[in-house]
Structure 1
Amino acid sequence: MSTTGFDEYVAARGTALLRFAYLLTGDYHLAEDVLQEALAKVHGRWSRIADAERPTAYVQKAILRQYLSWRRRRSSTETPVAAAPEAFAPGSDHAEEFAQRDSLWHALEELPRQQRAVLVLRFYEDLDDAEISRLVGCSVTTVRSHASRGLARLRATITPVRGEAR
């Protein structure tokens, strides 16, 4: 079996798939592991998947399932600090912007996996409730419930930037 098509697909879409996994996990190294395991599972079925209408949706679902079912625990709760944040708008307070982003990441890390997955699929992938329902494997009502509860939890835990109303 030739892996040329699979290799080309991963070369073309790998960065976007890793970004998707990172948004789900919140940890770059964990995202790499989740992506690698999902791609290993997809590789064996690639000839059928490549012929499908939307192979990327299939691969994203494999990543999502890998993330939702991952039971391994990290050996340490320490997380390395990411690279310095990208440039902010002129005149903005870098410390407040960084604090807001850090607050959001910590709040996302505290969400249950299903809620986090629904929020990433809705706001990063811009999918509608029906598509999220199909990917996650639950009803549309459950998707809305996860989104509502996740957003409520984020709103309750995120510290607003100075000058913003809560």
Structure 2
Amino acid sequence: MPVIAPMPAARPAQLPSQREGAEHSVAAGTTVDHLTETYRAHYRSLLGLAALLLDDTASCEDVVQEAFIRVHSARNRVREPEKTLAYLRQTVVNLSRSALRRRILGLKLLSKPMPDMASAEEGAYDQLERDALIKAMRGLQRRQREVLVLRYFADMTEAQVAETLGISLGSVKAYGSRGIAALRVVMEAQA
């Protein structure tokens, strides 16, 4: 990457004789003619560089054009005009990275698609199953029902259920397995 000169400090006003001499001197840095020639000679290669980093032609063209605009804006600060191409390449790479970051952020912010909605028949069937399960749960012993509700609906571990109910871990396992067996019998009888 070329060395870019820092912005010059404010200079005192020039004397008339100095101003006249300054008009005839060539400005230090990259000239517009040099940048035009660089554009003609290297536009395609810079476009190819952007194409390796991005996936669509329009974005590649935008990145390369923006790189030339930025180099044109900073042309008076480029100390070594022969490094203009290196500066352009680095600018294309940086702008491509930025474009990819914006895309990734945009994808993260997009709302997630809604899952396929169940048909009315499926919804009615699910409601019937829930009602049958609730009815079967009401038919269980109190401790079996408490263990199953805490374990599977409240998503607690067996140790958490034991602590919550004030019973041993073995009792939680026993009530849970008996409760599931009883539910299975009732649900199979209804099917």
- TM-score bracket for the superposition, by shorter chain length: 0.3 to 0.5
- Max Rg structure: 2
- With normalisation by structure 2, the TM-score equals 0.35
- With normalisation by structure 1, the TM-score equals 0.40
